[in-house]
Amino acid sequence: MYLDELKRKLRSLKKLETTIRFNNRVLSGKEQFVWDKFFSTKTDRDTSVKYNMKQLLAMDREKIKEVFDEFFYHVYFKYYSENGITLNDLYDPNLLSMLGLSEGATTEDIKKRFRELALKYHPDKGGDSEKFIEILDIYKKLTEN
């Protein structure tokens, strides 16, 4: 993907997020966009975003599609959370990431990963008690639905 084409595509993604989350209403400037955490069109070495221009330009179309899918997962998760919509199979992507899981993780994936990490960090097994408590808190938040 070429630089100009990629920049146009990224700008269109921000417009789509505006449409999805804010229904094209006039914005106050205080809104926090998922886009701002994912992308930047300013510099190819921007480390404040998940995917900078240099990384995106190095990806093939299939990998870029995966990145865009991940972005939309986060956008819809934010939209549903902001509007009080709960879906049993939609989990906070940030919490999933903390467990080393992707956005598409299932309930079974979460349980399996929790068991693995619990065994690793359990204080009775010589693990880190603070990390164990953190994992318990994350698991609890993910399974509260």
Per residue in 79-118, pLDDT tens? 888 888 776 667 888 899 999 998 878 888 999 999 999 9
Kindly indicate the confidence band of residue 41, based on its pLDDT and cuts at 50, 70 and 90: confident
On average, the pLDDT of the chain sits at 88
Question: CA distances (Å), 20 to each of 13, 16, 77, 82, in order?
Answer: 10, 6, 11, 12
- What is the set of domains in the chain, with CATH numbers? 3-82 (no CATH), 93-143 (1.10.287.110)
Element counts in the chain: helices (H) and strands (E): 7, 0
pTM of the model: 0.68
For residue 145, pLDDT over 60 is answered with no
